[in-house]
């Protein structure tokens, strides 16, 4: 089960990171289009600023699940490190379960938030805001899945004994 969790987490993270990278590329191109429009061509395009905002929201929200997969999120370990190993491991598993509950809560209520955006429209695009608001429940659901996978992968050992090794190319 642990090796399956490692593989599934890595594959899901690869897809999410590729999507986030594509969104960031689109964001950079959109911002450059806005700069070129404003200072050189004076087309007075109304949408680059709004599109940049929504691209940034999606990219940032998707990056949360990547941080969960890599365990690169912020963590305060001062209290945890003074606990005995077995208690430390139990505390880390409990924190993962509580974090999972938070992500599931956000995903559940985020669906209603996204559907609420269906009745609102972006003035510039003339489109529903539901696809933009959907970043919240989608990111929370992906983070929930990743958290279950890394919980199975690490089982509370990620501070003391990282279960995966950094490839030689990344270490240098």
pTM for this entry: 0.81
Q: What is the pLDDT of residues 78-122, one digit of tens each?
A: 788 788 888 888 888 899 999 999 999 999 999 998 988 888 877
Estimate to the nearest angstrom the gap between the alpha carbon of 54 and the chain centroid.
15
Locate the domains of the chain by residue range: 2-161
Tokens of 25: 């590329």
Quick: pLDDT tens for 7-60: 999 999 999 999 999 999 999 999 999 999 988 988 888 888 888 999 999 999
For CA atoms 142, 147, 150, 151, the dihedral sign is: negative
Nearest to 75 by CA among 98, 107, 101: 98
CB 100 within 8 A of CB 144: yes
């Amino acid at each position: 089960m642990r090796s399956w969790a490692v593989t599934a987490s890595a594959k899901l993270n690869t897809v999410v990171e590729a999507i986030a990278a594509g969104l960031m590329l689109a964001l950079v191109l959109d911002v450059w289009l806005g700069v070129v429009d404003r200072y050189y061509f004076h087309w007075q395009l109304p949408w680059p600023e709004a599109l940049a905002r929504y691209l940034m929201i999606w990219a940032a929200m998707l990056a949360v699940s990547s941080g969960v997969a890599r365990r690169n999120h912020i963590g305060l370990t001062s209290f945890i490190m003074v606990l005995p190993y077995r208690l430390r491991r139990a505390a880390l598993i409990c924190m993962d379960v509580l974090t999972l509950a938070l992500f599931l809560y956000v995903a559940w209520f985020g669906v209603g938030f996204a559907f609420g955006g269906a009745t609102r429209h972006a003035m510039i695009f003339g489109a529903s805001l539901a696809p933009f608001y959907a970043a919240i429940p989608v990111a929370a659901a992906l983070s929930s899945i990743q958290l279950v996978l890394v919980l199975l992968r690490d089982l509370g050992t990620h501070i003391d004994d990282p279960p995966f090794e950094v490839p030689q190319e990344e270490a240098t």
